[in-house]
Amino acid sequence: MKRRALLLAILLCISSAAHADDETLRKASCYIRAYPDFFIAYKEGYLITKDGRRIPFDSRIRSKDYDRMVVDRHVGDDRFNPEDALYWNYRARSEIPTVEKPPIGDPGRIRPAAIFGYMYGTTRAQRMKRMRPVHWVGPGAGGGNIIFVTTVNGVDKALEEVAREIRNLPEDKKKDLEGIVLDPDACSGYCDRPVRCYPHRTSAHAYGIAVDVNEDMSFFVGSHRGEPYRYRNNMPQFLVDIFERHGFIWGGRWHSYDIMHFEYRPELLLNDNGCS
pLDDT in tens, 141-164: 444 589 999 999 999 999 999 999
Helix (H, G, I), strand (E, B) or coil at 227: coil
DSSP state of 137: -
Helix (H) or strand (E) holding 253: none
Q: How far apart are CA 267 and CA 240, in angstroms?
A: 17
Residue 153 lies in a domain: yes
pLDDT string in tens for the chain (276-residue length): 555 554 444 433 333 334 448 899 999 999 999 999 999 999 999 999 999 999 999 877 667 899 999 999 999 999 999 999 999 999 999 999 999 999 999 999 999 999 999 999 999 999 999 999 999 997 544 445 899 999 999 999 999 999 999 999 999 999 999 989 987 778 899 999 999 889 999 999 999 999 999 989 999 999 999 999 999 999 999 999 999 999 999 999 999 999 999 999 999 999 977 665
Q: What pLDDT score was predicted for residue 15?
A: 39
In a domain, 68, yes or no: yes
- How far is Cα 143 from Cα 239, in angstroms, rounded to an integer? 18
Residue 128, class by beta-carbon neighbours within 10 Å (0-12 exposed, 13-18 middle, 19+ buried)? middle
pTM equals: 0.89
256 within domain boundaries: yes
Residue 107 belongs to a domain: yes
What is the number of domains present in the chain?
Answer: 1
Distance CA 193, CA 120 (A): 14
Residue 250 lies in a domain: yes
- Rounded CA-CA distance 165/262 in Å is 15
What gap in Å lies between CA 78 and CA 212, rounded to an integer? Answer: 25
Domain that holds residue 145: 20-272
Whether residue 105 lies inside any domain: the answer is: yes
Estimate to the nearest angstrom the gap between the alpha carbon of 193 and the chain centroid.
17
Closest CA to 28 of 113, 107, 86, 106: 86
Cβ atoms of 232 and 257 closer than 8 Å: yes
Choose among 106, 18, 109, 113: nearest CA to 56.
113
DSSP code at position 25:
H
Structure confidence at residue 61 (pLDDT)? 66
Q: What is the DSSP letter of 214?
A: -
Q: What pLDDT does residue 274 have?
A: 63
| CA within 13 Å, CB half, 89 | 9
Report DSSP letters for 192-206, one per residue: --EETTEEEEE-HHH
Please check whether residue 4 lies inside any domain of the structure: no
Q: What is the pLDDT of residue 145?
A: 83
How confident is the model at residue 16, as a pLDDT? Answer: 37
Confidence (pLDDT) at 183: 78
Percent of the chain with pLDDT over 70: 88
- Angle, alpha carbons 226-250-209 (nearest 5°): 105
Residue 204, pLDDT score: 98
> Could you give the 3-state DSSP secondary structure of residue 247?
coil
Per-residue model confidence as pLDDT tens digits over 185-214: 788 999 999 998 899 999 999 999 999 999
Residue 10 lies in a domain: no
